[in-house]
Amino acid sequence: MFQKILIANRGEIACRIIETARKLGIATVAVYSDADRTAKHVAMADEAVHIGGPAPRDSYLRGDAIIAAALTTGAQAIHPGYGFLSENPDFVESVETAGLIFIGPSAQAIRAMGLKDAAKKLMQAAGVPVVPGYLGENQAPEVLASEAAKITYPVLIKAVAGGGGKGMRKVSDPKDFADALASARSEAATAFGNDAVLIEKYVEKPRHIEVQVFGDGKDAVHLFERDCSLQRRHQKVIEEAPAPGMSLDMRAAMGDAAVKAARAIGYKGAGTIEFIVDASDGLRADRFWFMEMNTRLQVEHPVTEAITGVDLVEWQLRVASGESLPLRQDQLTITGHAFEARLYAEDVPAGFLPATGRLDHLAFPVGARADSGVRAGDVISPWYDPMIAKIIVHGPTRAVALSQLSRALAQTQVAGSVTNLAFLGALARHEGFARGDVDTGLIERDLMALTQAPTASDAVKALAILAAAALPDDALAGFSLWAPLQRALAVMHHDETISATVAALGPQRARVSLGGACLGATRSHGVWQIDGAEPLPVIKTASAIYVFAPQGAFAFTPVDPLARDAAGAGAGNATLSPMPGLVKAVFVTAGQTVAAGDRLAVLEAMKMEHTLTAARDGVVAEVLAQAGDQVEAGAALILLAEPDEA
């Protein structure tokens, strides 16, 4: 086994690999860009080497810098993770030329699967079912059109160098063929620098079912299937294993086909054979076809780990260091059912726009696996994939695992960025999904219902108001300090100002009036409950209040109570502390001239800092508090001179 490896990646997958390396007693070297100096993967690794600027081509795609880092630190092997250099055969060759081991397949195996037409021909020869179609060299439009007619419509035009749906066109009517071909070609030329296409019979109601394979260069096994049909614009959203509705004979047929595919190229390491399945008539053992092979560890590998009990990264390290396959096919079994949901920083109602931000608060559910490359306080930067975490659950049955997923998502808390958490939750509760009625069109068909921004209920608003009010929690002192008993407060939610009054009925009881509604609140152990309902987690950061409801996280901005109170004091001379707190700083001295809005002092209450501002122009007559003072609600902190004295 290796003593030290370098991980040529970042984020959750780098962290994932470091964890298994540590378990096996292997030292780790991280590499990082300028944007990742303080990233979690850097903190987790034993050593870290800076390799360049934040743009991937200036760092994580710099094979030379990464190989140099491995040689300098004495790493014996390089794990590429997924993405970046993981499927770059030239990089594999450079790694080997430098006398290092690439933890993954050979350059030759990667090249064999790199182009769709060549891969399809190879698979066909190996006895793997492929979608009927045309794979010929002759790319003349009239030849392609006549081949399409032979296949029978509808057909799909695909770029041979394609991926992610680029350069792909469905054609249902022969009269549209020429135009579709021209546009597929030009897209392929732009995206891949290769305008060659192949033509396939279009598969109706497609499901994406892939088989995990593992080879040691001599033999190969499969670790069953994953269903990744829940996609949006070719981005996987929720994956599961095993595939719902899979029969034993179809599983055996797909597993055999996948192992044949891996053996045909003498495959070494973890790989995935992606099949397209015609689900228009349920799953049938003669209705799956090879699509492509991914010659790397995939994002969704944890669902396979959950149902098989195999640590796939451990297998990668063992096989790369020269061991043969750790288990035979007959030693591999499926236990239960697993789901993985991909939690992203993205604005779903705005059309799934990637988002950025500092994660002020991050909490993952207990009882679920959360693979994440970020911690609370970390930033989702615009440079990389905005994935925050993968939430993985494993239960005895699909129904149990799905309700675990729903609960786990409801218990995941992210503050500081918008996320797709509500969308994932809506999917986990989707009836068709619960029935196992998954196909690649499910999300688009129900997009409206799935992406509706949840609206904040009065109870959620009341919790935000109570967090902003920060009623003293001290049973002995608190109540008497609360003056006045009734107080007006406001918080912002998106562009809406929510104004409310809070009446303190006792240290642990309050009434919140907002928009005509009147809600009763009781508190125990610092947690408010509205009208006896299940309490919801509330997080208060320096600039926002987050209420985590089952249907989503709601962010509110407090309207600074001191600024309001100071403004409300109008022509009054005293700036009062409207709540008990700690004076953090005083910025003025007696005799100083101030203008309306100038900062006078900072008060800390409930871990929030409030800036106290001058209500009007004037001259400071007296400073009654200094930094470090604990002050009560209503205490005068700064006095301005009478206007006519100035």
Residues at the interface with ligand MV4 (CB under 6 A): 131, 156, 165, 200-203, 206, 208, 231, 234, 276, 291, 440
- Closest distance to ligand MV4 from the beta carbon of 266 (Å): 24
- Minimal CA–CA distance to 439: which of 207, 164, 226? 207
- Closest distance to ligand MV4 from the beta carbon of 291 (Å): 5
CA distances to 91, 118, 163, 275 from 157, rounded to whole Å, are 31, 16, 13, 17
Taking the least distance from each CB to ligand MV4, the nearer of 66 and 155 is 155
Structure tokens at 28: 């780790």
- Closest distance to ligand MV4 from the beta carbon of 124 (Å): 14
- Minimal CA–CA distance to 456: which of 525, 538, 520? 538
Q: What is the C-alpha to C-alpha distance for residues 490 and 462, in angstroms, rounded to an integer?
A: 10
Taking the least distance from each CB to ligand MV4, the nearer of 118 and 606 is 118
**HEC states along 273-292?**
EEEEEECECECCCCCEEEEE
- 223, 212 contact by CB (below 8 A): yes
Q: What is the C-alpha to C-alpha distance for residues 428 and 405, in angstroms, rounded to an integer?
A: 7
**At 52, which helix (H) or strand (E)?**
strand 47-52
Considering 226, 232, 296, 369, which one is annotated as catalytic? Answer: 296
Instruction: List Cβ neighbours of 380 (8 Å cut-off, separation of 6 or more).
Output: 345, 355, 356, 357, 358, 359, 374, 386, 388, 417
DSSP-based three-state secondary structure for 560: coil
Taking the least distance from each CB to ligand MV4, the nearer of 200 and 565 is 200
Q: CA 518 from chain center: how many Å?
A: 38
- Closest distance to ligand MV4 from the beta carbon of 165 (Å): 5
Structure tokens at 195: 């305008």
- Closest distance to ligand MV4 from the beta carbon of 468 (Å): 45
Taking the least distance from each CB to ligand MV4, the nearer of 134 and 554 is 134
- 575, 565 contact by CB (below 8 A): no
- Closest distance to ligand MV4 from the beta carbon of 119 (Å): 12
**HEC states along 390-456?**
EEEEEECCHHHHHHHHHHHHHCCEEECCCCCHHHHHHHHCCHHHHCCCCCCCHHHHCHHHHHCCCCC
Taking the least distance from each CB to ligand MV4, the nearer of 231 and 420 is 231
Taking the least distance from each CB to ligand MV4, the nearer of 208 and 461 is 208
Q: Residue-wise over 421-434: b if at least 16 C-beta within 10 A, else e?
A: bbbbbbbbbbeebe
Q: What is the C-alpha to C-alpha distance for residues 115 and 90, in angstroms, rounded to an integer?
A: 15
296 is catalytic: yes
- Closest distance to ligand MV4 from the beta carbon of 537 (Å): 35
Taking the least distance from each CB to ligand MV4, the nearer of 208 and 301 is 208
Catalytic residues: 296
